[in-house]
Each structure stands twice: as structure tokens, then as C-alpha cells.
Amino acid sequence: MSRFYKMMPTERIQHRDERPILIVLHQERSSPGRVGQLLVEKGYRLDIRRPVLGEPLPATLEDHAGAVVFGGPMSANDPDEFIKKEIDWIQVPLREKRPFLGICLGAQMLVHHLGGKVQANTDGSTEIGWYPLHPTEKGRLLMHWPKMVYHFHREGFELPHGADLLAEGDAYPNQAFRYDGNAWGLQFHAELTRVMMHRWVVHGAHRFILPNAQQGREHLEGRMLFDAPLRAWLTEFLDLVFEGKAAKAAHPITLPA
């Protein structure tokens, strides 16, 4: 069933919530990567579950500090029963006003749950590699954003009704949003460790022929150039999601819920 990860007591960092964060993964060998590492460094425990393997999601998040739903090779439009159940489950953090972060597929599931469309561009273009990110005015009010981010997807999403668009892209315009104060969606991947990126480049090489996709060497070269600011951004962004803090925002204010 679920597995819990935590730091040794002598290493533990004090934070506001002692409950674990629910981590939802979509493959047997998937990892929460850098997101998991940073959350543990911040003092959180991780409750890791894989619905695709039959592991259930909790009926309430009363015993959790929030939830992160990660990406995967499947689509939010797939007919698989676990996909439908997971999309329906998103009502739990939304109803209970618990911190929720969806990354790539996780963001698309959130959009699907909120009634928005998840679909590919009509020209078949992808975002596979490093691409520019453009924060909106509302995004800049929250924090500084990296100039380049890493992608690995063939579908994008509509902005859900009532959501605040925080960052835009060139091929797929909707890159980051916040909904109802506590739910966040990211189209890009900030969670990849070096090992994860090397694995994705090897196992995903057959997709580099797709329109707008970059070649493997560009993925790895881009990491050397752009990964450090992306990691720094992720550290602050996780504080914003789970603690409501934006200590180094461009303007020290928070958007209204």
C-alpha cells in the first residue's frame, strides 16, 4: 500500500504542519524526484500512493498537509478506470480547501475535473525539451519565475473558469495557474533530478521526431544552463503552495483567493 518517507529526528526541520503530504504517482518506477527531496528537506513526510497499481486515495485529506499529483505517459482523456477515479477524487482537496499541486498530467486532471478541455495543438506541436516561460502580471505579483522550463508533453489544457493564469508559454499558452486559492497547476516539470532526466531522454527518445521536440543533447545541455534557477524557483514555489509564503516575491503581496 502507501509508503511513508521521513527524515531522522535530528535532521527534521520545523514547519507549520506535521501531517504528511500525499504524493500520487502513475507508474511503478516513478519518483517524486526533486519535489519529494525538497519537501523532505522542509520537514514533511511523504505518503506515496500509486492508484494505477490499485493503491487507494484517501476519502479525506484531514490527515494530510496537502497533495501533489505528478505526471505520466497517459492522458487525462484516457478511459482507464483509475484515471476517471483519480480525476473524480480531486474534489476532495478542492472541497476541503487543502493545498493541491498538479504537475503536467496532474494539472491536466485538475483542469478536466473543473470542466476544461485537455487536448493537443491542431498542428501536432509538442513541448519536449526546454522552452521559455512568460509570467503574467498576476504571476509576477506572487514571485519571480524562471526564464526557461523543462517540458515533456503532447497535450495542453484550457484555463479553467475562475482560475488565475500565472505563466504562459509559446506553443502551449497555459503553463501555470491557481484556482480557488489552494489548487495549483503546472504544465512544465521542475521536479526532474539529473538521473530522472537521463532516464527520460533514453526512454523517450522515440518522441524527439515529433513537431517542435528538441533532441536529447539539447535536453542535457539545457539542464546545465537552466536547471539551477529552476530549482531555486521550485524551492520558493513549494513554500507558496504548502505554507502560503512568498518570501522573495517581486512584490510582497498575495493574490486574493
Residues with active-site annotation: 104, 189, 191
CA quadruple 75, 31, 126, 171: dihedral sign: positive
User: In the block, which residue shows the cell 528537506?
Assistant: 41
Residue 217: CB partners within 8 Å, gap ≥ 6? none
How far is it, in rounded angstroms, from Cα 223 to Cα 234?
15
- Determine the Cα–Cα distance for residues 32 and 45; give it in Å rounded to an integer: 12
DSSP structural state of residue 64: S
Distance CA 72, CA 197 (A): 14
